[in-house]
Amino acid sequence: MAAHPASPSSAAGEERRERLSLDQLQRIVGVDHVRAARLEDAIDGVIPHWVAEPASIEEAGGLLALAREVDAAVAPRGAGTMLGVGNPPARLDLILSMTRMNRVLEHAAGDLVARLEAGVRLEDAHAVFRQAGQWLPLDPPQPGATVGGAIAANAFGPHRLRYGTMRDLLIGMTYILPDGTVARAGGKVVKNVAGYDLCKLFTGSLGTLGIIAEAIVRLHPLPAASRTVTLRRQGSDYETLAAAAHAILHSSLVPGTILFRLTPRAHLLIALFEGVEPGVLAQAGAAADLLRPYGDVSVEADGWDATSERTPDWTLEWVEAIVELTISAPPADLGLVAAEVASAVGKGAEWYATCYAGIGITRVSLSGDAAMLISIVRRLRERVAGRGATVVITQAPPVVKAAIDSWGVGGDALPLMRRVKERFDPAGILNPGRFVGGI
C-alpha cells in the first residue's frame, strides 16, 4: 500500500479531499505505474496526491476521463524540466507522467518527417535521426526535455534563429482532451492548410488545453561543418554589443545563432555558422571581419560540433539560479533590455543573462535574497513595459510566486483566451491557475 506523503500543502493547511483512489488509478495503468506523490513531485510547492504513468494513449485517455469524472486536477509532465513556468497550480491531484510513452514511432528519412510519442526525450530522438544525417533542430534549456514538454512550454535554444521552435517544426499531433476524447490535427506533410492549426494553438499552451500524446515533426539535414566566432568585451556597454550583432543580422550572412552571454563585468557575443564547409569558412571569416572593430575576436572550429552528443558549455543554463526570467522584446531593443536588466538588478543580486539576438529574447538568471528578487522583477517590468516587452518568470521559489504573478501581463485578448480554455477544458481540470490571467 502506498503511504501518503506529509499533508500536501494548501493555502489554509486544511485536509484536502482525495478525489482519486489508488484503486481506480491502478485499474487503468496497473499497480506498478501509479504511486503516491513525493515532495520532489511538487509543482511550485503544491504536492499532488498521485503520480501515474500511462503507457499508451488509451491509458492516458482513461486517466483523464476518470479525473474529469471526479473533478480531479491534473498536471501533465514530461521530464519536468520546465515545470517552473507559470503560476502555482490552484489545485493539483494527479501528475500524469508521459515518460513511459517514449517510442520513436516512425522516421521517414526520405521525407524528413518523424512521428514520436510525447515522452520521447529530445536527445534520444536526436540519436535516432542522426543516423540518417538529420535532426530536429531544437535545443531545450535543460537536458532530458521531452518532445511533448518542449511543445507545451514552447522550449527553445540557440538554433531558434535559423529553425524556429516547435511552432515551426510541429506539423501534426494526436492529443487528448480533458474528458478523454482523442483527436488529431495537422498531418504528416509539411505543407498542409486543412483545418485549424491546433498544433500552433497547443504550442506554448502549458498543458492547459489537452495532453499531447504524439507529435509529428519536420526534420532538417544535419549540417556538415560549423564554426563559432566569439567576440569578447569588458564592461557593460550593451548597446555597442547589440550594434555588433546588428551588423551581422542585417548583412547577408546566415548565422545559426547569435547569442550574448552577459555578466555584470564582461560579455561575449557568439555567432555560430553551420552548413557546408566552404560556406561556413567564408561566413565565419566575414563575421570575424565585421566584429573585429568591437573587440577581441576568435574563430573556433570545435565551438559547436553538430554531430556530437554534447553541446558546449555556453548553451547550458546556470542551474543555481533562484529566479529565472524570460524577457521578450522587439529584436532591436536587445541592447536596451540588457542595460535595463543590469540597472534594475544593480548590486542587489548576482545575475547573468543570455540574449538571443534577432529573436529579441533574453533569459536572465538571478541569485539572491527573495524580497530583493521580487522588487527587481517589479522594477524590470515597469521599465520595459513601455517598449512592448514582457517579463515572464520561468522559475522561482513559492515565496516569490506568492508575491508576484509569473506572467505579469493581461492584454485585451485575455477574455478570448479564457473562452478558448472553457471550450477545451470546461471543467478546468488541466493545470488550473497556472496560465496567463489565472487560466
Partner 1 sequence: MINRERLVRRMIDALDQDSVISAHEQLRTYECDGLTSYRVIPSLVVLPQSTEDVRAAVRICRQEDVPFVARGSGTGLSGGALPVEDGVLISLARMRRILEVDLPNQRVVVEPGVINLWVTQEVSPHGYYYAPDPSSQLVCSIGGNVAENSGGAHCLKYGFTSNHVIGLEVVLPDGEVVHLGGKALDTPGYDLVGAFVGSEGTLGIATKITLRIIRKPEVVRTLLAAFGSMAEAGAAVSGIIAAGILPAAVEMMDALSREAAEAAVHAGYPPDAGGLLIVELDGPAAEVEHQFGEVARICGENGCSELRLAADDEERVLMWKGRKAAFAAMGRVSPDYYVQDGVIPRTALPEVLSKIAALGAEHGLRVANVFHAGDGNLHPLVLYDGEVEGEAERAERLAGQILLACLEHGGSITGEHGVGFDKKRYMPDMFSATDLAVMQLLRCAFDPDHRCNPGKIFPTPRLCGEVPGPYRQHPLEKAGLAERM
Binding to partner 1 in span 278-297, by CB under 8 A: 278-283
Query: Minimum distance between the CB of residue 227 and partner 1, rounded to whole angstroms?
Result: 12
Binding to partner 1 in span 20-79, by CB under 8 A: none
Is the CB of 142 or the CB of 192 nearer to partner 1? Answer: 192
Cα angle: 187, vertex 139, 242; to 5 degrees: 115
Say whether residue 299 binds partner 1 (CB under 8 A). no
Is the CB of 69 or the CB of 350 nearer to partner 1? Answer: 69
Burial 15-28 (b: 16+ CB within 10 A, else e): ebeebbebebbeeb
Query: Minimum distance between the CB of residue 28 and partner 1, rounded to whole angstroms?
Result: 18
Q: How far is CA 427 from CA 178, 246, 423, in A?
A: 8, 48, 9
Nearest by Cα to 34 from 46, 21, 44: 21
Query: Minimum distance between the CB of residue 107 and partner 1, rounded to whole angstroms?
Result: 12
Say whether residue 332 binds partner 1 (CB under 8 A). yes
Residue type at 129 in one-letter notation: F
Say whether residue 328 binds partner 1 (CB under 8 A). yes
Is the CB of 121 or the CB of 160 nearer to partner 1? Answer: 160
Which one among 276, 301, 385, 399 touches partner 1, defined by CB under 8 A? Answer: 276
Binding to partner 1 in span 187-206, by CB under 8 A: 187-198, 200-201, 203-205
Rounded to 10 deg, the angle between the 238-249 and 277-291 helix axes is: 140
Say whether residue 301 binds partner 1 (CB under 8 A). no
Residue type at 76 in one-letter notation: P
Q: From 50-58, 88-96, 142-150, 388-396, give the range in contact with partner 1 by CB under 8 A.
A: 388-396
Which one among 182, 247, 299, 402 touches partner 1, defined by CB under 8 A? Answer: 182
**Distance (Å, rounded) from C-alpha 138 to C-alpha 172?**
17
Query: Minimum distance between the CB of residue 32 and partner 1, rounded to whole angstroms?
Result: 30
**Distance (Å, rounded) from C-alpha 35 to C-alpha 71?**
19
Is the CB of 50 or the CB of 407 nearer to partner 1? Answer: 407
Which one among 317, 414, 428, 433 touches partner 1, defined by CB under 8 A? Answer: 414
Q: From 72-80, 243-251, 338-346, 367-375, give the range in contact with partner 1 by CB under 8 A.
A: 243-251
Residue type at 428 in one-letter notation: G
Query: Minimum distance between the CB of residue 198 and partner 1, rounded to whole angstroms?
Result: 6
Q: From 92-100, 307-315, 365-373, 415-423, give the range in contact with partner 1 by CB under 8 A.
A: 415-423
Say whether residue 354 binds partner 1 (CB under 8 A). no
Binding to partner 1 in span 76-135, by CB under 8 A: 108, 110-113, 133
Q: How many residues bind partner 1 (CB under 8 A)?
A: 88
**Distance (Å, rounded) from C-alpha 23 to C-alpha 308?**
46
